[in-house]
A and B are shown apart, each in its own frame.
Chain A
């Protein structure tokens, strides 16, 4: 079988289960393609030789009852992997080798998958273009010098370029859905509390969630089924009845009520995005859904709220990087000097900026004006969704206000970079699940995504809607392998 890497996860699982393919054949094919794709810079750390050994072991004693039998997979470098370097895209963790495994990745290996390597990302997941990574830019396989989105940019690039059959990212304000949208792939941000945060390098703890990134909705549902478990090691993990998302996946969404929030029609939204959204509404109608206009009145306040809450939590979480217990250390004249130099040399500019914002909004005299205010507005944003969900089952919006942009285009203007997340951030603030599916192309031929937002714990419903719409949309990613010499 020559085109192994062109197969979807579901096809690969079926072919391994029916013994048409071995894990070794599959793993070697993806390793070989990854090796030829260095120009994308999707990987930070490669684990190829180890993966091939593990695949061989799997084939000697295959357990074909597992959900991901012998499937090779590269993951975002924000997940701690035992005995394999985990950097979070930062110089400060350049030499960090975890002695423990994150729950989400452990769940994946327990179902038979094999770790192929660690994928590039924005430093500590702070960014929308993968340009803040200490390990350099990642190329979007769609076009040269185009950003793959961020922060899960290595993940989106690797899935779109078929260097890994599927992957996981993390999403604090859009870091799964925005890169999925920029690369023509599917990305799900689950309900807060669905996937354990244990062993994931923390950015903003009340917003962070891990989730699958895939070539299609069915693959995405399968991986969500594997990674979503209750975990007592994460005190915010929620013990609810989880569906078997891939088995329960159906295309029948007749009579589902889908809300269209008028506040998402933002000023200066390109016509292409407006048209895509209209097309999306037609697709949903074609599937039998009922379209209902709704209002989420505090939408415009979501980004300013996010840029208080997320940096505040980050400044607190990143206090642990002091050069004492692990990670990079700069020499200093005394202890304080060592701390200050370590953090100044170890963190990149965007991370330092966010730590400073967070420290400021939490500092004496400013806490009420900023942090407390933001927590109150966050409540209003959540109330908006609660109100809307009295009338509808799900909400349909564009995933991003534009298609992918060029590397370097927005690096000098932090606010214009932050505006990328305008449609995704409210979902994190309200703790809801959201999925981005590819839905069309702009005039340059770059992919554009639509986002379906669900009620808390209603992943099955948005996966079903995405599955039904995916068939109608019939999106084809236009990838030419330009980076392979």
Chain B
């Protein structure tokens, strides 16, 4: 298998990471060598194997649906990159 530049551009769009042509070429090289290494898994027949979905073999505990942390607004907003008293601020979305 080979990951071409078109695929890299597609993944970069899905990842929301902007990639210029030079970076795309470097990434294609790196990803191809990593996937060559990953392809080793195809040696194994796994048709009848159940996938491991949880490493901790316990069922999730139930808890009552109670609010435990209150009045955290200031804490939640505190690290926002653009300051505004009450909101997270983003570039204009609707023209």
Contacts and interface: CB of A to CB of B under 8 A. Distances in A.
Interface string A321-337: 01111111100111111
A373 B41 contact: yes
Contacts, number: 159
A328 B51 CA distance: 37
Contacts of A360: 3, 7, 11, 31
Q: How large is the interface on A (under 10, 10 to 19, 20 to 34, 35 or more residues)?
A: 35 or more
A414 B15 contact: no
B46 A97 contact: no
- Secondary structure of the B contact surface, majority rule: loop
B88 A353 contact: no
Contacts of B72: 99
B46 A356 contact: no
B17 A304 contact: no
A356 B78 contact: no
B63 A232 contact: yes
Interface residues of B, number: 50
Contacts of B16: 319, 322, 336, 339-340, 343
Interface in B75-95: 75-76, 78-82, 88, 90-93
**Chain A contact surface mostly:** helix
Contact of A356 (B12, B50, B61): B12
Contact of A374 (B18, B34, B41, B54): B41
Interface string B37-61: 1111111101001111111101011
Contacts of B15: 315, 343, 352, 355-356, 359
A363 B11 contact: yes
B34 A375 contact: no
B34 A382 contact: no
Contacts of B67: none
A329 B18 CA distance: 14
B17 A192 contact: no
Given A100-B75, A304-B37, A356-B15, A329 B81 contact: yes
Given A307-B34, A431-B55, A340 B46 contact: no
Given A193-B56, A356-B15, 18 more contacts: A207-B55, A232-B63, A236-B56, A239-B61, A307-B38, A319-B16, A335-B90, A336-B16, A337-B18, A344-B17, A355-B17, A375-B51, A377-B41, A377-B46, A379-B51, A380-B46, A414-B30, A431-B56
Interface of A: 95-97, 99-100, 192-193, 206-207, 232, 235-236, 238-239, 298, 300-301, 303-305, 307-308, 315, 319, 322-329, 332-341, 343-344, 347, 352-353, 355-357, 359-360, 363, 370, 372-380, 382, 413-415, 418, 429-431
Interface of B: 3, 7-8, 11-12, 14-19, 27, 30-31, 33-34, 37-44, 46, 49-56, 58, 60-61, 63, 72, 75-76, 78-82, 88, 90-93
**Can you list the 9 inter-chain pairs with the closest CB atoms, starting with the nearest?**
A375-B51, A326-B79, A431-B55, A99-B75, A329-B81, A340-B18, A379-B52, A376-B46, A376-B49
